[in-house]
Structure 1
């Protein structure tokens, strides 16, 4: 295995913010996988995987340069680490221990994907960890008390770990100085063809229920609906076609598998397992280049701090938030 470090560029700054260098790391196995990550937003930039003819291609959506990642109009959170809480907090409010907290709003009345200056907008510190069979890039961030309205100073680590077998793991941990809420995820858009749209991809998700959303994609009190027979029924592998998806699928109890994606033409496959309660699944219909990637963001329930039925997202001093999601890329199958 090998790791290469470069400088991807310098941030433009803004206001009183100084320009900062952005680290780029590329980890490669002795086989057919190479992964590039940047310290800006702790972002997954590239995953090179071979097709059924042995030709490598990048299977995550990548923007042309650092300036594009900094430009909110061009960057729909592509590949970034989202936090302090991903997806949404309805009306930017939640109550913890009887105290109501008001978060910075960036989608009308709502707080979405960590707010206007979320973790995706920060330059993280970094370190490299190496073992005999795995190389990891670990990004580190301190989120101060009051950051985007959240209580407590939170220390966060986001690790990308590549095993010599080609297994790619996302690991997140966080600790806090005061009771708060935390929910982190990666927002990569996957395209196993390496180009074009995802319409011919085949998706399976081990989820029989979906959160009911209103017209603003806010959960309706935590109500769940069955997916059986509907457009979100991916319990059996199914071609995406033109189906528009922007929902949260609640995973079932059997965690031997959670999601699988494949591209029949290239033969590339991806299997995902996670310890999170569900996936935010988004078919990228509102990207600048629509449907050029499928987002499979393993995470807490959207608006979890306001939903009594949702698994807890509370983090207290002396405890550690932990999230682990694995991506495996079996050898490509079939012929082009």
Structure 2
């Protein structure tokens, strides 16, 4: 079966949704690429890719059971995060003269949609075997986590010949802000740490952060010559990264490689930047690297950043493709 479905449990009922059944869908593209997606958090739980020897490698970190994903300490493994990815300083923003106060879930700030953000919700799934895709839908009510407007969100996972595509869409009933992204942690070896990986980022500037990863006033700073200059491929060993890089243009890519195993992942996105985190504070330190293609942090409060506003009648869209080669 190119797309199969199995139940993996029932949520503990701690969110506004109450107890919900969670399903795992498996997509098999027939080219050695296979994905497992859970309806909890619209989460990429597994992605199997053949390496240069033909061995199938799971390159996406995940938990073995639902309890791991529901754990409040889950660092958003594989999840769709929203309504707004990254952070909103002090959880406040103004829109058309009105101030909106969001849920404060990160030491006085708002992070990844709040305590009951999209990563903690069970989404409705619709498989499409013809397109080898899975569309997941979620309706977020007006006022959810403090955001204005009823938001209808979609995350589409689509297998392509050499990888996987993420597409996010949303519509709203009132002016609001939105940015959805995927939060997978990647390890191209399928085990161990990312220390033997190399990274190249098609961005020569990075956001300057203050407390709790909230950007400080002013433009992004150049990274040339710094410890976080990845404009050319560099080994990750010994380098801790928790930064947000602004991509230099729409054709720029992010490249992660594991030379020993031969797998290379190239990321193309229409987002303006990529958050990079080497999971140094994770329960399995440096077990994976998160490459989060998204809007710029605190964009609702930064008119100098690309807008994240969404009005009724508009459709928010964001697309990111992860392509793999065995070299």
Aligned to 1:176: 172
Gaps of 5+ in 2: none
Aligned to 1:202: 198
Aligned to 1:94: 93
Kept after mapping to 1: 8 A contact 2:194/2:286: yes
- Counting matched residue pairs gives 327
Give the Cα separation in 1 of the matches to 2:290 and 2:82.
16
Aligned to 1:233: 229
Give the Cα separation in 1 of the matches to 2:97 and 2:201.
37
Q: Give the Å deviation of 1:64.
A: 2.0
Aligned to 1:312: 307
Q: Which segments of structure 1 move beyond 4 Å, counting only runs of 4 or more?
A: none
Kept after mapping to 1: 8 A contact 2:17/2:121: no
Aligned to 1:18: 18
Q: Give the Å deviation of 1:222.
A: 4.5
Give the Cα separation in 2 of the matches to 1:235 and 1:327.
19
Q: Give the Å deviation of 1:167.
A: 3.0
Give the Cα separation in 1 of the matches to 2:11 and 2:108.
29
Give the Cα separation in 2 of the matches to 1:167 and 1:273.
12
Aligned to 2:135: 138
Say whether 1:153 aligns with 2:150. Answer: yes
Q: Give the Å deviation of 1:143.
A: 0.3
Q: TM-score, normalised by structure 2?
A: 0.97
Kindly provide the CA deviation profile for residues 8-67 of structure 1, in whole angstroms up to 9, marking residues without a partner as x: 211121388532111111111222110010000000000011122211121011112111
Aligned to 1:328: 323
Kindly provide the CA deviation profile for residues 278-336 of structure 1, in whole angstroms up to 9, marking residues without a partner as x: 00110101110100000000000000011121000000000010000001112x12xxx
Give the Cα separation in 2 of the matches to 1:257 and 1:311.
17
Say whether 1:250 aligns with 2:249. Answer: no
Gaps of 5+ in 1: none
Aligned to 2:28: 28
Q: TM-score, normalised by structure 1?
A: 0.95
RMSD: 1.3
Residue correspondence of structure 1 range 272-291 to structure 2 within 5 A = 272-291=267-286
